[in-house]
Amino acid sequence: MPRRLISSGSSFEKSIGYSRAVVDGDWVFVSGTTGFDYATMTISDDVVAQCEQAFRNIEAALKQAGSGFQDVVRVHYLLTNGADFERCWPAMGKALGHVRPAATAMIVGLVDARMKIEIEVTALKRKAQAAPKKKARQAKRKK
């Protein structure tokens, strides 16, 4: 399967030279994603609103890749202020609480002073599993 590049339409991608996500086989690598609303190129001052918008941006990229939050296996949270981490937990839990991927959180400086959080995820698309009835029939045949 050829490598596929996914764009959000953000002006940053073309200017800087990167993709919102890259699909390589069953893997989906989503770039560090901030709370910018790419339709308006605006960003909230509130870290929780930024976190929620970042997850909406990530969800859109995953969807374009034929994936979703259920496939996320790793997440990196980059925050400019450690005190903001706990404030973002509800948004993080809403997006990934049912999946519980491996996670790392770091306190860093981001490239734009308006950015308070950046989130990067890696997903592994899973093969469709056989329906429960089909599995039961297959088990009976083996007996």
Q: Tell how far CA 11 is from the center of its chain.
A: 19
Q: Work out the end-to-end distance of the chain between its first and last CA atoms, rounded to an integer number of angstroms.
A: 37
CA–CA dist 88, 84 (Å, integer): 7
Cut 0.75: pTM above it: yes
Per-residue model confidence as pLDDT tens digits over 82-134: 999 999 999 999 999 999 999 999 999 999 999 999 999 999 998 755 455 55
Contacts of 45 (CB under 8 A, 6+ apart): 114
pLDDT of residue 9: 79
DSSP 3-state assignment of 77? strand
- Residue pLDDT, tens place only, 70-79: 999 999 999 9
